[in-house]
Amino acid sequence: MAKVLILLKTAKMSFLDQIDTIKLPQHIAIIMDGNGRWAKQKGKLRVFGHQNGVKAVREALEGCVKANIKFLTLYAFSAENWNRPKLEVMALMELLVTSLKKEIKTFQENGVRLNVIGDITKLPSNAQRKLQETIEATKENTHCTLTLALSYSSRQEIVDAARNLAQQVKDGKLHADEINDELFAANLYTQNLPDPDLLIRTSGELRISNFLLWQIAYSELCFLDKMWPEFTKEDLFKSIVDYQQRERRFGKTSEQL
Ligand code: IPE
Ligand code: IPE
Ligand code: MG
């Protein structure tokens, strides 16, 4: 009996129960950082950290499904990450392919639709193929949209949008003075996604590293000291609770809200 009570008590302590379901963030974005340092602390190679990072991806995704978060965007590989040692880059690309193969089941069971942002033409062809296959196989899923940022640079995304708009002006399809916030956003890779309400970065680093610069204009930022492989559903739930305690004023005063 006592054991049952203790179990009930521990189960009750989940931050999931503290989440206000009316004030849910619609979109959570995560900079998954600290794989290499986590592995190093354990005396292992950086790749070991990346392998363990996949578990944390599952935690984040299942956490979002449980908490009814509609959009999750994960920074998995930046355009700048191509400059890492060749072996590490190759291992990351391999890991992407094997993880997609394995996680398709998780996606289907949880109603997760896969989406990608970034210059994926730079990815090895087997990775591109697996991504396209998984996107196609999950396109009818509606519970949560998982966007992977791969070979992604926010500055490049903004440059691409500017080029696109400039071309339309040049072709006489658009007047320069018609370009506004909304039209600009519609030309970004994230055109079908709402802006993130909450941005989480693990590993204690306090920077954005070229991620969603336009889209996070009014996002709430949450920096965690934990390294990415240690990230759990509870960390996600706690971050949501933390987010819900903030006052998002969007330039207004408290009294106006
Ligand atoms: C994040 O962990 C994963 C990628 C950037 C691909 P890191 O590999 O950046 O790990 P640290 O920051 O060096 O510890
Ligand atoms: C940002 O992490 C990119 C990803 C998480 C994929 P980095 O580890 O590459 O960022 P910096 O170099 O520390 O800013
Ligand atoms: Mg890092």
Domains of the chain by residue range: 24-154+195-243
Angle between helix axes 46-67 and 233-244 (nearest 10 degrees) is: 60
Quote the pTM value: 0.95
Q: Is 118 in the pocket of ligand 1 (CB under 6 A)?
A: no
What pLDDT was estimated at residue 6? Answer: 60
Would you say the CB of residue 205 lies under 6 angstroms from ligand 2?
Answer: yes
Mean pLDDT score of the chain: 96
Q: Is 33 in the pocket of ligand 1 (CB under 6 A)?
A: yes
| Confidence (pLDDT) at 13 | 86
Ligand 3 centroid to residue 109 C-alpha, Å? 31
246 close to 220: Cβ distance less than 8 angstroms: yes
Residues of the chain with pLDDT > 70, as a percent, come to: 95
Q: Please, what CATH class does the domain formed by 24-154+195-243 belong to?
A: alpha beta
Q: Which atom of ligand 2 has the smallest separation from the CA of 81?
A: 9
C-beta atoms surrounding 192 within 10 Å: 11
Residue pLDDT, tens place only, 106-150: 999 999 999 999 999 999 999 999 999 999 999 999 999 999 999
pLDDT at 11 over 60: no
The C-alpha atoms of residue 37 and residue 52 are separated, in whole angstroms, by 12
Environment class of residue 149 by beta-carbon count within 10 Å: exposed (0-12), middle (13-18) or buried (19+)?
buried
Which residues are catalytic, by number? 33, 81
CA distances from 157 to 43, 175, 215 (A): 37, 21, 11
pLDDT over 70 (residue 242): yes
Coil, helix or strand at residue 71: strand
Residue 19 Cα, ligand 2 centroid: separation in angstroms?
Answer: 29
CB-CB contact of 149 with 73 (8 Å): yes
Minimal-distance CA residue to ligand 2 atom 8: 33
Residue range 211-219: average pLDDT?
98
Note the pLDDT tens digit of each residue in 154-191.
999 999 999 999 999 999 999 999 999 999 999 999 99
How much is the pLDDT for 254? 97
